[in-house]
A and B are shown apart, each in its own frame.
Chain A
């Protein structure tokens, strides 16, 4: 499997570190007042850290180009066929993904 890094071009899968689905882009905002009463925990954190749609099909997930440019990438691909549809820089998604 290869991923086409927007900065480096097509690169071997071994250059990339896998993090998980793009739920990780939706980091909950901390709210000191609410956190004081809830102990800092909320369902938003459960969604962010643990719960996954886990689709057999189209998924957008996060990869780190560890052995290359060091960019975080959002890869849209099919988990059943390993076909890659799109690779985008996470930095370009900021503000569009709810984070």
Chain B
């Protein structure tokens, strides 16, 4: 069923009795051309672009829970292309372009809202770094505007410009940055893949990866064995466990990142704003809740909940930046499992096993990357060659020294 305004109107008149499930719930077949392990944003996008761009539709997406039950529904929904390093810059630029055409491509409202992102800076040195980053963004073909203090005030009059501990010197405005409705991204890709013949198989946990003579031949699952010529591991925070089934150790350590949402409020924060002197970023959802987050809890964890010291830190940072939110009541906080790499950049690559591919290491920046990650993983699995914009996301780059350390914080998993 194709969605349209007319359809909504007609269904409204007819009591909304004509809507059908957005995708099928097929039983797994005994064999597919390709299997994607992981039915989150990246896995669903991979299946969608395999079908759409490469005409490969005999695919199963295997998800141990329900579709979109992981980080795609747990993030702070920010979409941006403000990376600096060659390798990252062109990838996220490509992703933002895909975002801009995503709703018409998927025929699905992902509520992509380019409301503008402002990264604040608080010292001369930070201004220089942000100016340089802005120039890199412009060179990449994206947009960036360096705002001085008064420029920031005209956009964000509610910030505390009087406090002297972390004075606001200005901000880097990325007008095409913004947010999107995160669950809808998973649902839109799922529906698009399903319409093209991809089998989306939920409640189907992969329990083993079959390898013969260095070549992948299929997977074992809680719903029986499934054969496949190619298998893509797209399991985000659980990548370590999935890769271990293929005898691999990954350069990944899983950490918890918390996020928070307040009760619904009238429109008050029009942009995505990030604080440059404490890890804090905030936007307001279309439902009215303030959605914000901070840094990792910093220790390896798979508990999808956080610890209190980071809650306190995030609240302190928020109150330092914009005291007006002090009366808002936090409704919920939660945690997502982040697959942290030693340089803070992702991996889209072949493995040493023929026919086995991996897409992981999204740290806590995976949401904005979903379209390009799916696009490039699909390209890799279909052609056996890395896509041009993802060619530096190599699995072995830590051994060869070709790191993509965007923040320059060194080779420790939790520092990115």
Contact = CB atoms under 8 A, between A and B. Distances in A.
Q: Chain A interface secondary structure, helix, strand, loop or mixed?
A: mixed
A61 B301 CA distance: 11
A35 interface: no
Interface stretch (B170-178, B238-246, B324-332): B238-246
Interface of A: 1, 12-14, 18-21, 41, 43, 46-47, 49-56, 59, 61, 63, 79-82
A20 B414 contact: yes
A61 B300 contact: yes
A18 B298 contact: yes
Given A52-B240, A53-B244, A54-B253, A20 B411 contact: no
B111 interface: no
A56 B302 contact: yes
Contact of A54 (B250, B298, B399): B250
Interface residues of B, number: 26
A52 B249 contact: yes
Interface in B306-322: 307, 309
A54 B307 contact: no
Contact of B250 (A14, A43, A52): A52
Q: Chain B interface secondary structure, helix, strand, loop or mixed?
A: mixed
B137 to A, nearest CB: 29
B133 to A, nearest CB: 26
Contacts of A13: 307, 309
Interface in B385-416: 398-399, 401, 411-414
A50 B307 contact: no
A54 B299 contact: no
B303 A52 contact: no
B60 to A, nearest CB: 24
Given A49-B342, A53-B249, A54-B250, A79 B414 contact: no
A34 to B, nearest CB: 16
Contacts of A51: 249-251
B303 A61 contact: no
